[in-house]
Structure 1
Amino acid sequence: MCKESKLEEKIKYAYNKKIENFGREIIFSYPNETLAISTTENKCSLKCAHCNGHYLNNMVSIEEYEDKIKSRNINSFLLSGGCSFEGDVPINKHINTLKTLKEKGFKLNAHLGLMEAKDIESVCKYIDIVSFDLVFDKSTIEEVYKINKSREDYIKAYETIKNSTKVAPHICIGLKGGKIKGEYEIINYLAKDSPEILTFIVLIPTKNTEYENVKPPNLERVADLLCEARIKLPKTIINLGCMRPRGKYRQELDQIALDCGVNKIVLPSRSAKNKAIEMNLKVKESKECCVL
């Protein structure tokens, strides 16, 4: 049997698993009612190979969020920021702001990174859900983040968060310069205690980063990985997040994601919308961050 037909067979099986557990519903997310705020403005100590602080420029400083919510219909926040040299996002320095936001009725999603256990427990009293990037491959951690951390460090932080509040693990496909390395191991680990939500993102070759000239991961490899997750985590809500390449790659990726049985696509391409109609899927829309 040729490799392509094996993948087609796997895609069909994964899609049937989705229908079996979730029916024909697909959610398209347009997160206009979630405001992304940075606790470090545009500063990050790590200058990672795939980001170099670039995406912090798209966030609002935590000091200025009040002005933004006056002019926009905001129901929730994504709290993020640059990392320290230990790999944590210093949200714990803004406990009073978190408390204020919760008292006002906002939903809070947060990136904590490799935060210490005591700080995780303190912060998570006010957080509805944490988006946590899992990375298991040691060489990827060293090359991308340039920190001396291991699979065990990520598992320890993830388990601590899981015991403190809801957590949506995130997997960046092709994080190591477009190569698939460690992603299957993460799925196998998650399958031991399936999360309610799992979000996939895909490496974006970003200008002025070390990875600006790499190619995003091969779409057949991405399809296989999405299918693997759908099959091994049949009752987990699987999202395709906002961080993924644009253009033709996104158009093809979004259609593949529908075939592989994802539950939600953030900012879907027109091709995905058209394909959903062709597949006779029941389209619903949401206006907040994919894990909320």
Structure 2
Amino acid sequence: MKLKEKMEKALKIKEYNFGNKINFSYPHKTLAVTTTGNECSLKCAHCNGHYLKNMTCIDNLCEKIRKREIKSFLISGGCSFKGDVPIIRYVEEIRTLKQQGYRLNAHLGLMSEENIKNISKYLDVVSFDLVLDNDTIKEVYKIDKTKEDYINTYKILKKYVKVIPHICIGLYRGKIKGEYEVLKFLEKENPRGITFIVLIPTKGTDYESINPPKIEDVIDIICEARIKFPNIPINLGCMRPRGRYRKILDEMAIYSGVNNIVLPSKEAIGKAERLRYDIQILEECCVL
């Protein structure tokens, strides 16, 4: 099927199941929190701890809460050599946030079942990066894990908490490698939503000089997801290249059946308006 035909099919499926509504998220009421400061043991090929620098340390929440209207938290941090995000040591702080009425989304990584069970009771949702290509796991994350570890962790998470799989398109050197396998796996798992992000070549990382995946390849995967999963929300998340790339991608995503675009380009907004879509503005993390 040609991409244009696939986009038309995906859009018809979306409009049939969700009507003419589309969400645009500006998550200024969700505070991104790191439990490890700027530190990450793995120094992943695509990140190298860069994105932790823009997050608030969990020990410094009070000041941020006073300055901003916060309704929810995205709790994350750098990974350990085992592939988990060590947030369990802050379980009491997380429990307190939940008792105070905040909604909580967390990245847990390859956390043990015991720790998942202990922490998940305080979480509204877990965002889980689902990678099913062994070459990608080895080169990008630099850990001695396989796709089976990711499958097992995903299934454990589902036992205890709502989990939204995240798929980073082009994670392996900006190429498509394993993304369709993730969608095939998820067909048997009845996911409650999917969030797509796109590799950003980031300065100071192993991948700073590579090209992001071709926009047409990104759109084909998004269409594939909409066709396979006609009734669940599909998000285009905040992590994707900016500039001209984002302008083109976001506009094409409107025609590919997504339900939500985080920090949409002006072009995407204009396209939704011209289509006379019912635009809903959201103020928190897309999975919340």
- Fold match (TM-score > 0.5): yes
Which among 98, 101, 106 is matched to residue 102 of structure 1? 98
The reply to whether residue 63 of structure 1 matches residue 59 of structure 2 is yes
SS class of match (1:163): helix
Give the letter aligned to residue 213 of structure 2: P
Deviations 1:194-241 (CA, angstroms, capped at 9, x unpaired):
211110000000001010010000111111100000000111100000
User: TM-score, normalised on structure 2?
Assistant: 0.99
Which among 38, 41, 44 is matched to residue 42 of structure 1? 38
Percent identity between the two aligned chains: 58
Deviations 1:106-165 (CA, angstroms, capped at 9, x unpaired):
000000000011001111010100000000000000010001111110011111111101
Alpha-carbon distance in 1 for matches of 2:134, 2:272? 38
- Matched with 2:207 is 211
- Matched with 1:11 is 7
The reply to whether residue 144 of structure 1 matches residue 135 of structure 2 is no
- Matched with 1:26 is 22
Q: CA deviation at 1:82?
A: 0.1
1:1-292 equivalence runs, <5 A: 6-292=2-288
Q: CA deviation at 1:279?
A: 1.6
Alignment check: 8 A CA contact 1:206 1:212 kept: yes
Alignment check: 8 A CA contact 1:27 1:263 kept: yes
**Once superposed, which parts of structure 1, at least 4 consecutive aligned residues long, lie more than 2 Å away?**
none
Q: CA deviation at 1:254?
A: 0.3
Alpha-carbon distance in 1 for matches of 2:216, 2:238? 20
Deviations 1:230-271 (CA, angstroms, capped at 9, x unpaired):
000111100000000000000000011111000000000101
Give the letter aligned to residue 202 of structure 2: T
Mind listing any 5+ residue stretches in structure 1 that lack a counterpart?
none
Alpha-carbon distance in 2 for matches of 1:55, 1:45? 14
Instruction: Compare 108-117 and 187-196 and name the one that shifted more.
Output: 187-196
Alignment check: 8 A CA contact 1:52 1:209 kept: yes
Give the letter aligned to residue 124 of structure 1: S
Give the letter aligned to residue 51 of structure 2: Y
Deviations 1:59-109 (CA, angstroms, capped at 9, x unpaired):
000000111001100000000000000110001110100110011000000
SS class of match (1:69): helix
Alignment check: 8 A CA contact 1:92 1:123 kept: yes
SS class of match (2:123): coil
Alignment check: 8 A CA contact 1:196 1:235 kept: no
Q: CA RMSD in A?
A: 0.7
Q: CA deviation at 1:193?
A: 2.5
Give the letter aligned to residue 273 of structure 2: I
Alpha-carbon distance in 1 for matches of 2:219, 2:80? 34
Q: CA deviation at 1:278?
A: 1.4
Alpha-carbon distance in 2 for matches of 1:247, 1:214? 16
